[in-house]
Amino acid sequence: MADETVGFIGLGIMGKPMALNLAAAGFDLVVHSRSPGPVDELVQAGARRAASPAQVAAVCDTLITMLPDTPDVQHVLFDEPDGAAAALRPGSLVVDMSTISPIASREFGDQLRARAVGFVDAPVSGGERGAIDATLSIMIGGSAGDVARAMPLFEAMGKTIVHVGDGGAGQVAKACNQLVVASTIEAVAEALALAARAGVDPARVREALLGGFAGSKIMEIHGQRMLDENFQPGFRARLHLKDARIVLDTARGVGSPTPGFEPVAAALTTLVEGGGGELDHAALFTLLKDGKGSGDA
Amino acid sequence: MADETVGFIGLGIMGKPMALNLAAAGFDLVVHSRSPGPVDELVQAGARRAASPAQVAAVCDTLITMLPDTPDVQHVLFDEPDGAAAALRPGSLVVDMSTISPIASREFGDQLRARAVGFVDAPVSGGERGAIDATLSIMIGGSAGDVARAMPLFEAMGKTIVHVGDGGAGQVAKACNQLVVASTIEAVAEALALAARAGVDPARVREALLGGFAGSKIMEIHGQRMLDENFQPGFRARLHLKDARIVLDTARGVGSPTPGFEPVAAALTTLVEGGGGELDHAALFTLLKDGKGSGDA
């Protein structure tokens, strides 16, 4: 570890604690982010500061990106004159841990490999709590060699680390995850709203259902949030909407039908456009309480 | 127990093993069913045979019904001249364990109470396996007194026994259960189909997702059935479609929106109308594999 330099670009809500865990694990870190506060925190923790993606890229062996969306990754890697790709040394490795389009992710990998730079997609789930506690689930796509090379880094940031498949497979798994999570939240919300409206205590219904086939992490955690009407995130609805669009784009791109997910994505849109973007995604429940269809927008 | 006689009407796939468990627990049983085979089996196990619902009703203190659908319960209880209700003694109790409309169930309860007969709705989940093993989940609606009276019977047939609320609450909970189960199956199916179509091994995706927020009983059990393309029931799609119609009718009846569940119910219709009614409900997956929307019908 000591002779390898790790670059880290994107010190947001997720990126900052992930980078801090790498610093704590003893990696030689060079960091860059748009806002100076988190950079200062990393420097306090022993990291070096770089003024641009290109400056990070010029000195690192492995570059980790943790950015909000597909265009941000495009920008940091490929925009002139400060993009990282042109400055990366042949034989170096990019590990993109952002949640972005699987199709774009595969393209980025192709472009980097044309420069003799390796690429691994490794989106995460587990939220800010998982990032702080280094208990993230990491879903990985890439070649066996590249993934093996990044493994010590993953082990410093996550707990459930699964090499899903070739390039893009991590992003595909993350898209599948976000599809299932949103659809299950909507199902639990519709069930608890139905119980309440039919004059039955939804807390008792949740309890009756938890042990059977309707039981899930979502019924347990998000179902309780709905009962408490506590929509402090957690995971923000606007971020899930971003991910829902990735799901729909990917599904359309490969011709896979998502008839059940489409109204769920529409409900997320309604929630965010109605001002609920900063609420936890369990706030899908609020769209059902007034008796109007959440997919009406 | 010894001085109480229990009637049991409906010895189908679920009712027969449930009645056998009551016989094994030592209850004095009088049974009736349309097909003679299961009646013979119960008689072998010590039960007495009755020629009609009215004949069962005339001799029992508690009458259990376990029938396919709402009209069957209506018929057995109220049709002239052989319906049970007119023959039940004041002070007796009807326990309907069928899965039927919560609205109809409340009406049946009202009609029976007008005859000084108690009524409890107590639909189950857990399938044939749970019925045989006496490990059913039982969701109960009714007055505390009536439910307490039926409790020894429930304990001989089930494991997770929850008194959800007043009359109809058991059926409401069951409707909520069937909503969540079908929607989650569809979500898992859409995710695994998307993975496959995007060139990623769906088995690896399932594995990556199981430990996180996308984890559920359905992902575990039905997700594996989809990977194996093993659609031996389990729970038959045509029965889930019946229950889906109860969900939609109930939701409309009380004005609760189900935008996410509607395309799932449509997919169940497509599956059943396409000849898949006897397959496990996990066969919703098969509608996605050819790349056509499952809600197109």
Give this complex's ipTM: 0.94
Higher pLDDT, B259 or B35: B259
Preferred mutation among B209, B252, B270, B287 to probe A, highest tally of A CBs within 10 A? B209
pLDDT reported for residue B292: 46
Write the residue in B179, B197, B200 that is nearest to A164 by C-beta.
B200
pLDDT at A293 over 90: no
Locate the chain B residue with the closest alpha carbon to A177: B214
Best of B197, B207, B210, B213 to substitute, by most chain A Cβ atoms within 10 angstroms, is B213
Contact with chain A for residue B213, Cβ under 8 A: yes
Percent of chain A with pLDDT over 70: 97
User: If we measure between CA atoms, which residue out of B108, B251, B107, B121 comes closest to residue A198?
Assistant: B251
For chain B, say whether A277 makes contact (Cβ under 8 Å): no
Condensed to tens digits (0 to 9), the pLDDT of residues B187-221 reads 999 999 999 999 999 999 999 999 889 999 999 99
Nearest CA in chain B to A180: B187
All CATH 1.10.1040.10 domain ranges in chain B, comma separated? 172-296
Chain A stretch 56-95, residues whose beta carbon is closer than 8 A to a beta carbon of chain B: none
What confidence tens digit (pLDDT) does each residue in A11-49 have? 999 999 999 999 999 999 999 999 999 999 999 999 999
Question: Distance between CA B119 and CA B139 in Å, rounded?
Answer: 14
With cut-offs at 50, 70 and 90, classify the pLDDT of residue A295.
very low
DSSP class of A272: I
What is the chain B residue with the closest CA to A286? B257
CB contact (8 A) between residue B183 and residue A186: yes
Q: What is the pLDDT of residue B261?
A: 98
Compute the mean pLDDT over every residue in chain B, rounded to the nearest whole number: 95
- B292 at interface of A, judged by CB pairs closer than 8 A: yes
Measure B62 CA to nearest chain A CA, in Å.
24
- Whether residue A173 lies within 8 A of chain B, CB to CB, comes out as yes
pLDDT band at B293 (very low <50, low <70, confident <90, very high): very low
pLDDT, tens digit, 9 for 90 and up, residues B7-18: 999 999 999 999
CB nearest to A191's CB, from B137, B180, B266: B180
The verdict on a CB contact (< 8 Å) between A262 and B263 is yes
Contacts of A270 in chain B (CB under 8 A): none
Catalogue the active-site residues of B: 174
Q: pTM for this structure?
A: 0.93
Q: What is A172-296's CATH topology?
A: N-(1-d-carboxylethyl)-l-norvaline Dehydrogenase; domain 2 (1.10.1040)
Radius of gyration of chain B (CA): 20
Average pLDDT estimate for B112-125: 97
* Structure-block tokens of residue A228: 């408490």
Task: Tell me, yes or no, if A254 comes closer than 8 A to chain B by beta carbon.
Answer: yes
- Considering only residues 224 to 253 of chain A, which have any Cβ-Cβ distance to chain B shorter than 8 Å? 247, 250-251
Rounded CA gap, A258 and A266, in Å? 12
Cβ–Cβ below 8 Å for A218 and B217: no
Q: How far apart are CA A281 and CA A44, in angstroms?
A: 34
Give the pLDDT band of residue B290 (cuts 50, 70, 90): low
Choose among B176, B73, B71, B53: nearest CA to B121: B73
Q: Which CATH number fits domain A5-167: 2.60.40.10, 3.40.50.720, 3.40.120.10, 3.40.50.300?
A: 3.40.50.720
A220 contact B CB<8A: no
In this complex, do A214 and B258 lie within 8 Å of one another by their Cβ atoms? no
Beta-carbon separation of B172 and A205 below 8 A? yes
Residue A186 sits at the chain B interface (C-beta within 8 Å): yes
- Helix-, strand-, coil-residue percentages of chain A, each rounded to 5: 55, 15, 30
Choose among B125, B165, B213: nearest Cβ to A212.
Answer: B125
Q: Is B192 on the interface with A (CB under 8 A)?
A: yes
Cβ-based contacts of A250 with chain B (< 8 Å): 194, 198
- Whole-number pLDDT of residue A294: 42
H helices of chain B, where?
15-24, 36-44, 53-59, 70-78, 102-113, 127-133, 144-157, 169-197, 202-210, 217-228, 237-254, 261-271, 286-289
**Considering only CA atoms, which of B196, B175, B201 is closest in space to residue B261?**
B175
pLDDT band of A219, cuts 50, 70, 90: very high
In the three-class reduction of DSSP (H, G, I as helix; E, B as strand; rest coil), residue B172 is classed as: helix
Amino acid at A244: A
B186 to chain A, any CB pair closer than 8 A? The answer is: yes
Residue range(s) in chain B whose domain bears CATH number 3.40.50.720: 5-167
Active centre residues of A (catalytic): 174
